[in-house]
Amino acid sequence: MLESRTTIRVRYAETDAMAIVYHGSYLPWLEVARTQLLRDYGYPYRDLEQAGYRLPVLDLSVSYRRPAVYDDDVEIHAVIRDRPGIRIKIDYEIRRGEDLLATAQTTHAFVDAKGQPTRPPADFMAAMRAYFTA
């Protein structure tokens, strides 16, 4: 399992007229958490792009439970539970302290610069075998 935690302070621009975070504002937070997760395990997204790989979102789901509001510190916990292959599934929890605000899941696929599905880099797959024994 790979996991990472990222903290973000809610900006005013991410809220609506009631100072509650707009539902679409959660998506960039997932991106921040996802790129941090890859960076934490030695695979900055920029390096993958420079090597000719992309990881577009194939599927996305978000369940909103409680609102985040302006100036909250929220923590995004990103987890890869299963060994990645051509596809990577990432689970997220967004919390304010102990309060669970939202859960989400994204699925991504490795594609080449032309958008065609491709195998992940060999060194990436070797590293994933080290983290996922099953």
Give the whole-angstrom CA distance, residue 102 versus residue 11: 17
118 pLDDT higher than 70: yes
| Tens digits of residue pLDDT in 73-114 | 999 999 999 999 899 999 999 999 999 999 999 999 999 989
pLDDT, the chain, mean: 94
For the annotated catalytic residues, the residue numbers are 16
- List alpha helices for the chain, DSSP H: 26-40, 45-50, 122-131
Q: Read off the pTM.
A: 0.92
Band (pLDDT 50/70/90 cuts) for residue 134 is low
**In which domain, by residue range, is 64 found?**
2-131
Check if the beta carbon of residue 104 is closer than 8 Å to that of residue 30. Answer: yes
CATH number at residue 11: 3.10.129.10
Number of domains in the chain: 1
